[in-house]
Amino acid sequence: MSKLLEGKIALVTGAGRGIGREHALMLAENGAAVVVNDLGGDEHGSEGDTTPAMEVVKEIEAMGGRAAVNGGNVADFDQAKAMVDQAIETFGDINIVINNAGILRDRMVFSITESDWDAVMAVHLKGTFGPSHHAAIYWRNKAKAGEEVYGRIINTSSPSGIYGNVGQTNYGAAKAGIAAFTIIAAQELVKYGVTVNALAPTAFTRMTAPLMGGADAPEKLKDAINPRWIAVTATWLASPEAAKVTGRIFDIRGENLGIAEGWHLGPVAKQSDEPADLGPVVAELMSKARLNASMDGTDHEGPGFPGHGI
């Protein structure tokens, strides 16, 4: 089997378990050296233990690959820089950044606490910005020096962020921010030869299991949305074959791969300068406007997308 990423260097955050683990293993299977970052906290962001990341590194080394452990916190700007620097210092370059680290603090908007909000924003949104920012500086400097640049940023959004999900105002807002960040960063970095894309995955992982039936979830569901499917898309996006794909959000649910098309302007009408006259205008617009998507990304419950996203 040909290796899509022979000689490439990758950083994967949150790579000790779940989707991140699958990213790291598949990148390595395809020839990349991988910095395996994981703070080792639980799904709520508490505690910390680099053992999961070390286990992934050992798996990669056992298959003959190259990998290194990083236990840094993606929400810490300096530690995010250290991750990028570690890849460069250990393996000589950095070509791929997969921002995957995440936590959940699900609450209804009237129950969520400030700490619940801040923690989720820090890990997801700032944790995507930090590694991307530091890698982008490195690639821009290389380009300005006349050196060849190979850069891929792959972020992790969510169906909750691009379609919406009850109980996840913090998580969904962060994931929507990541989608917007992806689109704009793609526009900013394209001239340097860097692509920026995002995944909106549905997968059975430690984080999502409680929402999908936990240990009692059907094996058929677990198999259908195994996190390995997410790594397939990420690995291809990291490869030379994806050089002209940027600014896209990929909805992945098992073997089903789609592109989420984002906001588009719908029906338009002329409004009066008097608020009292606006009712009929808005009523007409509402009658013509497409409904917001459900969590499967469609106007109704569509076939072929098992489970529900997170």
CB 206 within 8 Å of CB 17: yes
Considering 81, 126, 150, 158, which one is annotated as catalytic? Answer: 158
The candidate with the shortest Cα–Cα distance to 155, out of 195, 121, 95, is 195
CA distance 135 to 83: 10
Strand partners, 201: 252
φ and ψ of 275, to 5 deg:
-55, -35
Other CB atoms within a 10 A radius of the CB of residue 281 amount to 13
The candidate with the shortest Cα–Cα distance to 132, out of 98, 177, 174, is 98
Catalytic annotation present for 158: yes
Beta strands in 126-191 (DSSP E): 151-156
Tokens read off for 176: 């929507």
Catalytic annotation present for 294: no
The candidate with the shortest Cα–Cα distance to 64, out of 97, 95, 105, 25, is 25
Place of tokens 């997968």: 203
Considering 138, 150, 163, 171, which one is annotated as catalytic? Answer: 171
φ and ψ of 271, to 5 deg:
-105, 150
CB 218 within 8 Å of CB 16: no
36 in helix, strand or coil? Answer: strand
Query: Which residues carry out catalysis?
Result: 158, 171, 175
